[in-house]
Amino acid sequence: MCSGRIDLEFLLRAFANGQDGVFVGGCKLDECNYVTHGNYDALANVYLCRKIMERIGLNPERLRIEFMSGADGGLLVDVTNDFARQVKGLGPIAEGEGIDRQVLNFRIDAARKLVPYIKLVERERLRMPKKEKKAYHEFFTSEKFDRLFDELVGNQLAVSQIMSLLQNKPLSTGEIAEALDLNPSEIAKYISSSSRQGLVRYDEDAKRYALV
């Protein structure tokens, strides 16, 4: 399978299913057999996924991508063994991060719900005009990317988690903040935005926020 087929959903689903690490292998960059150079798309998805992982409290070192040719059997053995040692050192997923497994799964599920939106954002605002390794590295590790991610994805990720929490029962700002380990002022900002969009309402009787 071409590494360009790798989807954010595949990566997040693997972690949701309890995998301690995910390794993506692709053809060497700039040596793709297809004009689409799908391995660059895989690289972009890995950069995005690692940023999402960082945001939800999952160690981004649990995800790695490497590029090599069919003749690099020895290199494949070396990098996969190294990755296996690295993941073993990180410990089991969730436990290694000091996060309750149910809490982590909740955060991953909230991120998975955003995948269609993230794909649209990536295509319109985060896609590099030129497929070149140095350009990809410089962009996806830049402050500009961090700002764009916070603006376009980070805020929506927080809202997605809030919506998921409110599906179970109405909650106060403080209760939401405690559940998501966020500052109450941040929650108030997200709630205000969601209220303007008609997603949540304030239940005067319960003194809690609920889904519309």
pLDDT at position 33, please? Answer: 78
pLDDT at position 108, please? Answer: 96
Rounded average pLDDT over 101-126: 94
- Taking the model in full, what pTM does it have? 0.89
120: pLDDT strictly greater than 80 = yes
* Burial (CB count <10 Å: 0-12, 13-18, 19+), residue 68: middle
Coil, strand or helix: which one is 67?
Answer: strand
pLDDT at position 130, please? Answer: 87
In the block, residue with structure tokens 């029962």: 169
73 residue type, one letter: G
35: pLDDT strictly greater than 80 = no
Phi-psi domain of 172 (left: phi exceeds 0; alpha: psi -120 through 50; beta: other): beta
Q: What are the tokens at 100?
A: 């309750």
Give the Cα separation of 111 and 159 in Å (integer).
Answer: 10
158: pLDDT strictly greater than 80 = yes
Segments making up each domain of the chain, as ranges: 3-168
Band of residue 208 on the pLDDT scale cut at 50, 70, 90? very high
